[in-house]
């Protein structure tokens, strides 16, 4: 704990600390991975957005396998906490996650990877991918709007393209996570504009069919 506090104390340590911490994620020990992820989260929390922007995608590339494969729940949860910390740091001072901002660039990388997994709705990584999107969307209004606008239409289309009850159920669970994230953001931040308004009719159609158990298009 004391060592973690020292490492995360100042962004001047980032150049040495973050690459070495990412190397430690190659360990086969869940205990080592959890300790490393907690230290990375502390660093992200304290180093500031300008520094974190330099390492955000590298951190995602390193931990994405741990989360998407979910072989160890504790490791996966710590990985999600790290992604939330990165999203929060890069959201600082922003009203929107424009594509040319560090937050927009980071979320685009995550969105592209997760949407690819979501297209295999019954695959092992689909549910963790949905959780990644929901957790990041719960951090800030700009992150929420970015993710909602880019993932909700995909999920709605996937729902409409399948008649499988299992697939539709899986999609609804992911949609529920994103809706819960949006609800918490709008309630806590009192943000201007609801990113779901443009999708109201589509969501009503999806949930009506889901609740009725209809297989009609």
pLDDT tens digit sequence for 199-208: 888 888 888 8
Query: 200 and 146 in one domain?
Result: yes
- Reply yes or no on whether the pLDDT at 176 is more than 50: yes
Tell me how far apart the alpha carbons of residues 39 and 9 are, in angstroms, rounded to a whole number.
Answer: 11
pLDDT at 93 > cutoff 80: yes
* Whether residues 212 and 133 fall in one domain: yes
Q: 13 and 61 share a domain?
A: yes
* 154 & 202 share domain: yes
* Alpha helices (runs of H) in 92-190, residue ranges in sequence order: 102-118, 126-137, 141-161, 165-189
Distance between CA atoms of 62 and 26, rounded to whole angstroms? 9
Do the beta carbons of residue 22 and residue 59 sit within 8 Å? yes
Q: Is the pLDDT of residue 217 over 50?
A: no
Per-residue confidence (pLDDT) for residue 50, from 0 to 100: 96
- Please say which residue of 42, 70, 92 terminates a domain: 92
- Predicted local distance difference test score (pLDDT) of residue 210: 76
Instruction: Quote the domain boundaries for residue 173.
Output: 126-217
Euclidean distance between CA atoms 81 and 37, whole angstroms: 8
CA proximity to 119, closest of 178, 180, 170:
170
Give the separation between CA 204 and CA 87, rounded to whole angstroms: 29
Domain annotation covers residue 56: yes
Regarding whether 72 and 145 lie in a shared domain, the answer is no
Q: What is the DSSP letter of 93?
A: T
Distances (CA, A) of 103 to 8, 11, 86, 147, 172: 21, 19, 9, 11, 27
Average pLDDT, the chain: 91
- In this prediction the pTM is 0.90
Average pLDDT over residues 98-104: 92
């Amino acid at each position: 704990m004391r060592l973690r506090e020292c490492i995360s104390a100042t962004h001047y340590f980032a150049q040495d600390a973050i690459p070495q911490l990412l190397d430690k994620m190659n360990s086969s020990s869940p205990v080592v991975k959890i300790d490393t992820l907690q230290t990375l989260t502390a660093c992200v929390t304290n180093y500031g957005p300008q520094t974190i922007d330099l390492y955000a995608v590298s951190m995602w590339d390193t931990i994405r396998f741990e989360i998407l494969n979910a072989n160890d729940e504790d490791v996966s949860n710590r990985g999600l906490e790290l992604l939330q910390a990165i999203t929060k740091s890069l959201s600082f001072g922003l009203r929107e996650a424009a594509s040319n901002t560090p937050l927009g660039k980071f979320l685009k990388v995550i969105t592209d990877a997760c949407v690819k997994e979501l297209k295999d709705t019954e695959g092992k990584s689909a549910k963790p991918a949905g959780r990644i999107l929901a957790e990041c969307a719960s951090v800030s209004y700009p992150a929420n709007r970015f993710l909602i606008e880019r993932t909700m239409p995909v999920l709605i289309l996937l729902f409409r393209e399948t008649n499988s009850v299992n697939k539709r159920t899986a999609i609804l669970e992911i949609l529920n996570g994103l809706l819960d994230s949006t609800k918490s953001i709008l309630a806590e931040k009192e943000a201007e504009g609801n990113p779901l308004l443009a999708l109201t009719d589509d969501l009503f159609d999806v949930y009506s069919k889901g609740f009725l158990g209809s297989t009609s298009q």
